Amino acid sequence: MQYYLYIKAVHIIAVIAWMAGMLYLPRLYVYHADAPKGSELSETLKIMERRLLRIIMNPAMIIVWVLGLVMVWLNTSLMEYGAMHFKFLLVFILSGIHGVFSKWRKVFDRDENTKSAKFYRLWNEVPTVLMIIIVILVVAKPF
């Protein structure tokens, strides 16, 4: 337990990095959807999207999950709050959205996107809404 607060701090740092990517990647898709296939902009966006996912988002998500589970293992009383169960569900959904974003990156990489910028603009809001609910659950513990 002496390292618990350090584990929690790194967990929070990883959450911030993951959420930064989850908020930025669909915004890149908005621009990519409007970029002509094969253009210099499209190729640059492909590089940005791939690096964001591989270098920041994927490792951050893994760290979030591993350290979150370690914190629960070290402090099982966390699971006494009903809000924590709901938080896990929302983080699981957020992880699924991460997977969908990863799939879309591959579609863009193959120049096979058929969805509009407006579609990606709407998806850009989903992680934000989930993040707000998760933070409220963690801080306020409403149930």
Determine phi and psi for 54, rounding to 5 degrees. Answer: -75, -35
pTM for this structure? 0.94
One-letter amino acid for residue 108 of the chain: F
CB 4 within 8 A of CB 73: no
Tokens of 41: 């902009």
pLDDT in tens, 88-124: 999 999 999 999 999 999 999 999 999 999 999 999 9
Total H helices, total E strands in the chain: 5, 0
Q: Which one, of 125, 132, 129, lies nearest residue 29 by Cα?
A: 125
CB neighbours of residue 52 within 10 Å: 19
Domain that holds residue 80: 4-140
**Distance between CA atoms of residues 119 and 105, nearest Å:** 14
pLDDT tens digits, residue range 17-45? Answer: 999 999 999 999 999 999 999 999 999 99
**Dihedral sign computed on CA atoms, order 111, 55, 70, 88:** negative
pLDDT score at 111: 98
Look at the chain and report how many structural domains it folds into.
1
